[in-house]
Structure formats: C-alpha cells, structure tokens
Amino acid sequence: MSEIRSEGREPEENREPDAFEQQLTEALRHVEVPAGFAVRVMDRAAAPAVAQKVVVMRPRRWGQLWLGGAIAAMLAVGAFVGETVRVRHQREQAELATQQFEAAVRVTDQALDKTRAQLERAGLKLGE
C-alpha cells in the first residue's frame, strides 16, 4: 500500500469529478480555429498602423500646486474658525441662560419674601 489516503477521501482515480472540475474541463477544451483565421491575422499585421489618439499630460506648474495648497489651507482654517465661533456661541448662550436663571431665582425669592411678610402680618407663621 504505497498510496497515502486523506481522511474520508477516495483515491484520485476512483472519485467522480465535481461540478467545478467539469466546468473547468469544458472551458479548457480544444476549440477549432475558424477557417481563414491565420490569413486575417497576417493581413492585419501587414496593414499600416491606424493613428491612435494621444493624450498629452503637461506637467503641473508651481503656481497650480501652490494654489491647491492654499485652497486646502483656507478650508482647514475656515473649519477651525467655524468650530471656534460655534463653541463661543454655545458658551455665550449658556452664560445668558445662567444669568436669566439667577434673575428668575432673585425675583422668586423677593416675591416669596413679600408673601411671607404679608402672611406674618395676617398672623400666620410659616416654616416654624
């Protein structure tokens, strides 16, 4: 027994080809060359070359490179400044809200003090 068997596999000569192997065999089968193929290839090779469109790429100038860098820098600065302005605006809004809250607390305290004083004059004492 010189054959080495893999676990659970049949020897190569006894097994059926799977679908992939069948497709591969079909795709790689020999195909007959159409009549006159060699003549057409040789005629095309002997024919003068057809001019093809050539695209010329000119090198970038330093001014164009500088302009691109300047635009990128301005965009970065604009984004930074925009974020800074947004943060400052939020801080100002928070400070304004705090001031308004403190003013409302003062007004409420004054109103409660007046109400307590009126109740005490009427003979009702609260908080004791």
Residue 110 lies inside a defined structural domain of this protein: yes
* Structural domains in the chain (count): 1
Per-residue pLDDT of the chain (128 residues; tens, 9 = 90+): 445 555 555 566 667 778 999 899 888 888 888 899 989 988 888 888 777 777 777 766 777 778 888 999 999 999 999 999 999 999 999 999 999 999 999 999 999 999 999 998 988 877 65
Q: Is residue 55 part of a domain?
A: no
Amino acid at position 104, single letter: A
Is residue 117 situated within a structural domain? yes
Inside any domain, residue 77 = yes
Place of tokens 């065999």: 25
In a domain, 75, yes or no: yes
Do the domain assignments include residue 9? no
Cα distance between residue 107 and residue 103, in whole Å: 6
State which residues form the domain around 128.
61-128
The verdict on residue 115 lying in a domain is: yes
In a domain? residue 71 = yes
